[in-house]
Structure 1
């Protein structure tokens, strides 16, 4: 399946989960909702992948990378949820995109990657209809989304190393998710108590975890094995497009005409970076001489 199509599926599920999460913020703190999402996703992935069966494939550096990756992933999610509790979804996603922009600018090879990411960045701004007029508490949201952007950059670089490890990307993701949930638990688990007494809330949390973590991050591990970091960063420009669609349909944040221009710019950037230059998966055998 082509990498862009994988990203469409990833984006639709990820931001559907984010839209569902917004409805819980009145009952559970945004940071605790994010932690619950990571914790439940970790349980699902651990049951699915059972990483202990492949413990012979793990080296200490790989395990250390997976743990750091998991902490970065968890902090990124907590910061993003705090941000969308104070900013519109489209605005938050657009500012967070500064992280992938930085990765593509630093790791890109040649003018195509750098021009492509610049075009994609402009398209993202138009797609999301960025507006900083979000109320008196917007500063909290801006700080949180800045942290999320930095973590997103680290997520791309670390996630690629996890994806190409011998133990397997999704298996590594299960270890990473578990590590992130454990590290943040002392700070956020207390706020998750209402879920224990409300079956409806518990069901919503499971849906959010599957939609926003299990499906999209597993798909991204597949893509990270196949493309360069700079190409992956440009592909991420597709996520604000899907965020705009989900925000309009689920949250009533209706898009405007400039978003059509933004979509064309993002599409052009993806074509410009040459998505056909996919790398073979790490576990593929080399072609015969």
Structure 2
């Protein structure tokens, strides 16, 4: 199976495993007048938080050099910090900022060793 197919299979397994834990609360949600809107929001969150990022990772891993992919993945904590600040109003502490900068710097200065075998 290709990477995208494996990702799809994993998402189906995750949905089947998680459904029994939420089915009890879901029953009460379906009687609420805004349940369809909540369902659409939930689908949107699922697509934006799982499907798009994981599918993008799978496609990028197949096409980008390892160093470029590593640097882009190292930028994820920084983009998450900015989104948390802008969207959620979460102000990062100095420790948070230093941690994000350290991860990015570590990936940026690391050089791949030539294969000697």
| Structure 2 unaligned spans of 5+ | none
Distance 1:184 1:255, change over 3 A: closer
Match of 1:183 in 2: 17
| Residue from 57, 79, 104 that aligns with 1:242 | 79
Match of 1:265 in 2: 102
Distance 1:196 1:206, change over 3 A: farther
CA contact (8 A) 2:77 2:100 kept: no
Listed as ranges, the matches of 1:163-182 within 5 Å are 167-182=1-16
Task: Say which structure, 1 or 2, has more relative contact order (CA 8 Å, 6+ apart).
Answer: 1
Moved over 6 A (4+): 231-234
The farther-off stretch of 186-195 and 168-177 is 186-195
Q: CA deviation at 1:182?
A: 1.3
Equivalent-residue separation in structure 1 for 2:26 and 2:65 (angstroms): 38
RMSD of aligned alpha carbons: 3.4
- Give per-residue Cα distances to partners, 1:237-270, cap 9 Å, x unaligned: 4333222212211221112445544443222212
Instruction: Return the TM-score normalized by structure 1.
Output: 0.31
Q: CA deviation at 1:218?
A: 0.5
Match of 1:201 in 2: 38
- Between the two proteins, the alignment pairs up a number of residues equal to 109
| Residue from 62, 73, 89 that aligns with 1:252 | 89
- Give per-residue Cα distances to partners, 1:171-224, cap 9 Å, x unaligned: 221111112211332233232331574122112102101110111010121234
Equivalent-residue separation in structure 2 for 1:252 and 1:175 (angstroms): 35
Equivalent-residue separation in structure 2 for 1:235 and 1:226 (angstroms): 13
CA contact (8 A) 1:170 1:221 kept: yes
